[in-house]
Amino acid sequence: MTVNLLNFDLKGLTAFCADLGEKSFRATQLFRWIHQKGAFDFDQMSDLAKPLRDKLTRTAHVQALKIISQKESSDGTIKWLFDVGGGDAVESVFIPEGSRGTLCVSSQAGCAVGCRFCSTGHQGFSRNLNTGEIIAQLWFAEHYLRQHLASSDRVISNVVMMGMGEPLQNYSALVPALRTMLDDHGYGLSRRRVTVSTSGVVPMIDRLGADCPVALAVSLHAPTDVLRDNLVPINQKYPIAELLDACQRYLEFAPRDFITFEYCMLDGVNDQIEHALQLVELMKHHAGRGISCKFNLIPFNPFPESGLTCSSKSQVAVFAKVLTDSGIVTTIRKTRGDDIDAACGQLAGEVMDRTRVGVRIERQRTFKIVPIGSTGDVEGSPGLAAKGTIP
């Protein structure tokens, strides 16, 4: 059986070449051919010696993902559905904006976290992608777009691990993929331009800071544990205080001097002025020193199974003003690709669900927001009351 070379970062490829009896500079040449030039046929690699090319033909291959579909939005956004085998498929999205091109990459087939507002979470979880399947999304998109746009320059300037899945629950495959993205012999991306988005897997945030610090985005979505337990179930294991502690530690290694917090705006759930004031209190005073941060408010993209609706534009604006008036840098994400279901929270490939996600999310939907002061108020949660069953 031959090995897919997309599974290796440069260190791994160097070890592979050493096993073939080749020197390290051959691995660098091979790495450049694959990632910088998009080559998959070893006979194309003209500066590799013929005996090495013969060895590679016998032992290795460069395996792209099969494309099931490609859809292009009226705003230029492109969404690909890739077949990853076993009945599973994942989605990637390219978002062009001025001189910047961002690729949203998936790390898992489905997702086990089960955030209530995310359509990927509603389809359950099948498996982790391997490193080759993660990097193949970038490999294909970069070289397809160069040809499509008739450009010899790099097209993708930013990568966000915000596609299907929780990246930090697939850590062993994620880190080599990140290193390939960052390597000057690979895609040469800046650490500031590669972002890992997490729902809050605290131990792995610490490991990422030590192993491969890139920009970090945290899916917060609520100012209190009572509310976040329901919206982002992993909060029951790693509550907000522990998560913010991890964010403070990560800043010691991060390429940016702030953490981005993502906040999906849900009508009547987490979008009230009281919630904004609670966020300000958290960010300004957590652990007595606060956290350097930026907030990205995300308009919710509704889907029927969620039982949720999007906050009005006026309410989003009011919420943003509370944050900005407090000195917190706040942006409202522009919705891109929603006409092809490529906007935030809409990615949902085809996965063979191995979880009881439907049961878990149905339990989450029993959580109700009720007026402050009515029966069922939750002690210790100012500005928010709740009742119902919380899983």
* Cα distance between residue 217 and residue 368, in whole Å: 28
Nearest-5° angle of CA 230, CA 282, CA 264?
A: 45
Q: Write the DSSP assignment of 65-82 as a string of letters.
A: PEEEEEEE-TTS-EEEEE
* 91 carries an active-site annotation: yes
Catalytic member of 111, 115, 118, 344: 344
> Which candidate, 326, 331, 329, places its Cα nearest to that of 299?
331
Spatial contact of 262 and 221, defined as CB atoms under 8 Å apart: yes
Catalytic member of 17, 22, 91, 133: 91
* 305 carries an active-site annotation: no
* Cα distance between residue 194 and residue 184, in whole Å: 14
What tokens does 182 get?
């960052």
Q: How many CB atoms lie within 10 A of CB 203?
A: 12
* Cα distance between residue 178 and residue 11, in whole Å: 13
Which residues are CB-neighbours of 52 under 8 A, at least 6 positions away? 20, 22, 26
> E strand or H helix at 203, and its extent?
helix 202-211
> E strand or H helix at 134, and its extent?
helix 131-148
Phi (first) and psi of residue 380, to 5 degrees: 85, 10
* Cα distance between residue 66 and residue 90, in whole Å: 11
> Which candidate, 194, 169, 181, places its Cα nearest to that of 136?
181
* Cα distance between residue 98 and residue 334, in whole Å: 14
Q: How many CB atoms lie within 10 A of CB 262?
A: 19
What tokens does 177 get?
């993929």
What tokens does 238 get?
């790693």
> E strand or H helix at 182, and its extent?
helix 171-182
Q: Where are the alpha helices (DSSP H) in 232-342?
A: 240-250, 273-285, 313-325
> E strand or H helix at 35, and its extent?
helix 24-35
> Which candidate, 324, 293, 277, 355, places its Cα nearest to that of 111?
355
Residues annotated as catalytic are: 91, 344
